[in-house]
Homo-oligomer: A and B are copies of this chain.
Amino acid sequence: MVAIWELLLLVLANHLLRASEAGARPCLRSAMGLDPSYCLSWRVAVEANNVRAWRTVPAQCVRYIEEYMVGGQYCRDLDTVVDQILAYLNGITAAADGLDAWILDVDDTCLSNTLYYKDKHFGGDPFDRMAFKSWALRGTSPAILAVLHLYRKLIERGFKVFLITGRDEEVFCSSTTQNLHAQGFTGYERLIMRSAEFRGAGATAFKSERRKQLVAEGFRIRGNVGDQWSDLLGDCAGDRIFKIPNPMYFVP
């Protein structure tokens, strides 16, 4: 009999604890249900642009981010964002004047560098300019299929697609073009790469400038898709911006 009373008391205490947490003063302490994860909080804060200018994935989150990238949740997140883009796309049409445009970023938006970052602890190691250069020059980055699907729809529906990338034009022009074509990204209006005058400039400054030029040419930017906030902020950002997940690196 004592054991049953003890059990009932425990259940009651647990209920009271949970009620008080959701209740009078939330967030005084964690409850027991879910294991609150700092690394999940960090990842969400990255996606919401609350964490900026980070150089590497925090050491305690390297395993978590690896599991995120290869365990299925990254793909699920990608699909969810692309579904939102497609829903928005279904509500708009490209006018006959051929001036309705979309902007897409290249690295980890159209083309996946996950295979490269796998050898860099998925962002646990600091950025390695020379190694990334070799990787990008090979031109073997696979398409992110959800984005390729979106891309095809944009072309089909009569939008002009501009690919704007921070990759240096002189170094990466031919490898990037070949890579994109081999992976099915054909039929875009222009691939706009970083020219000599923007060497060393921040991505937001460079991309804003290029978008402003497009708007000056008469294009209406209906949507803008990138894995970095620096793709999406600044001038002439577009009617809607969409942040593709990427917890592996930060581009200022």
- A69-102 residues at the B interface, CB under 8 angstroms: 69-81, 84
A37 on interface, CB distance cutoff 8 Å? yes
Interfacial chain B residues near A23, Cβ < 8 Å: 114-115, 118
Interfacial chain B residues near A18, Cβ < 8 Å: 70
A14 on interface, CB distance cutoff 8 Å? no
Q: Write the nearest CB–CB distance from A171 to chain B, whole angstroms.
A: 25
Interfacial chain B residues near A68, Cβ < 8 Å: 34
Interfacial chain B residues near A72, Cβ < 8 Å: 30-36
Query: Which of B22, B51, B70, B76 sits near A22, CB closer than 8 Å?
Result: B70
Give the number of chain A interface residues (Cβ < 8 Å).
59
A27 on interface, CB distance cutoff 8 Å? yes
A115 touches B27 (CB 8 A): no
Query: Which of B24, B76, B242 sits near A115, CB closer than 8 Å?
Result: B24
Give the interface segment out of A127-135, A138-146, A160-168, A201-209. A138-146
A67 touches B142 (CB 8 A): no
A8 on interface, CB distance cutoff 8 Å? no
Closest 6 CB pairs of A and B: A30-B72, A33-B71, A36-B72, A34-B71, A27-B75, A41-B80
